[in-house]
Structure 1
Amino acid sequence: MNTTTRETVQPLLIEAATYRRFIGRYYLSAIRPVTSGLDNEVFELTLSDSSCDLTVIARHDQIADEVILEHTMIHVEVAALPTRVGTVRVCKNLTCAAASKRLGNSLSALPISQCPQPAVFQAFLVLYARIQSTLMRRFIDDVLLQPKVGISFLQCPATLRSHHAYVGGLIEHAVEVAWNVSGVHALTDIERDVAVVAALLHAVGKTRTLTAGATRTALGTLVEPELLTLEVCADALDNLEYHSPSLANQLRHIWTSGVFREHTCGQNHGLLYDVLARSAKSSMVSQQSMAFLAEAEIDRPTFA
């Protein structure tokens, strides 16, 4: 098919260059005014998703009429316009999507430009793609596509003064623990899926207690993040419980049993809990190798 006649809905931005026109909802990373010979001022918009950034052009009235702001979700229709200096992508339609209850329909909506460690983010997506259970993948979607959760998860430190105490440390710690447990062959397929999901999201409550600026929120001075993990995941747990009460309860039990603390509670819960506890402790107290990034590089995830 001739790529100059192709149109599509919600492509990954890394593939958008092959389309004459596309429509989708994307994270707006930046707005920059550019000089123009036109009477109306022109702006460059930097769109971002899990694959890359893409610059498109918008008119001043399109920005002003919809009150388009940086670091929000927008819905755009973009067309490729051939010029003497090359192809320029211009906004035909532009609307604010900040009020949407979800960032998008899949984790591809999470903007890699907002993650201080893009290679770790790609490793996270590889782990996600390897989860065999549709229910467990949907659970991660339900948690991380919440507008106030997903971006913070990419940016927050894991702690302020202990392990992974730097911007992007939260997702790095989560990936380290999950990558370790994903390779344990003694686990059944569903046990491995539960272990990976539990590891990836075990500290997601810190998206409400810590900031990307490495400070504690007002709520973080009052409530332990372990309790907030259950709160952040509440709706997703309810949805999961509707389809599989046992999976939902297993996640609740894992997150409240102490297996992710540096000093575990010492209870004998069996292989799954022992694997999680050992993996978490290894990530917390040692300088773990980031060799898993090399494996992640050769395994590019796809989104339905």
Structure 2
Amino acid sequence: MKKQKNKYSHLTAIERVFLSSPAQFLLDKNLLIGNILDFGCGFGNDVKLLQKKGYDITAYDPYYFPQYPQGKFDTIICFYVLNVLFPEEQANVLMEVSSLLKPGGKAYFAVRRDIKKEGFREHYIHKKPTYQCIVKLPFKSIKAHEYCEIYEYSHYNNQRHSSNNCIFCNPYKHLTLLCESATTYAIFDGYPLSKGHVLVIPKRHVSNYFELPLKEQSACWLMVNKIQEMLNKEFAPDGFNVGMNVNKHAGQNVMHASIHIIPRYQGDAAGVKSGMRCVIPKGKY
């Protein structure tokens, strides 16, 4: 089957001489705080208009403003981006926004609610196939009407998600959250085996990874790929061990599924062999 491409998503950007309605709403509510990033800003209309009002705001768009933002931001806005992306592309945007957000910061996603038909359509001006879909996010909705909904996002470990005592359902605030998607998050291990040891954790409270729905398993591995890129850039390890513990006899201590990503460095193992085959000492079976 030929894979569909979504190479014209940038054509949905619109030129305006006034603030978008989500930007105006956040401005009126005094929610545009500190240094701000407009992620997927299109032509950058909101950025230019807010800069004129004295706001410290950076533009980023893979097509129109391709220089990737540096550092972390107090506030990130992402308006009408997710509706024109495939699911995997949507997840990537959520992960990137979460990784660019400062601890304690807020991100705001605006999505369209007036889409009647999902899929490709010919753009009425450019005559190219552009994609659109309905998007619902598992974050706090702060405004909704027939045309638009605005969601407020903060890092997973800045909230309490359940009344149980599971530390993966309610991760500690002091731990560094690397990135997050709708169903999964990644955090530095509190007791790292090596520099850069990360846990990728599904949000669903399931102890056995194999009991997760396939869609959520896929989301975990999509995040593993993203974390591997981040760790290569930050720590430049010589290799990785990636795996999971399922049930107590396999060493699982927290009864909530997780995937370990353990960077390896030359000389960090005492023996010659240090891979997955050496988890069980030779001769045990």
Global fold match (TM > 0.5): no
Greater helix percent: which structure?
1
Greater strand percent: which structure?
2
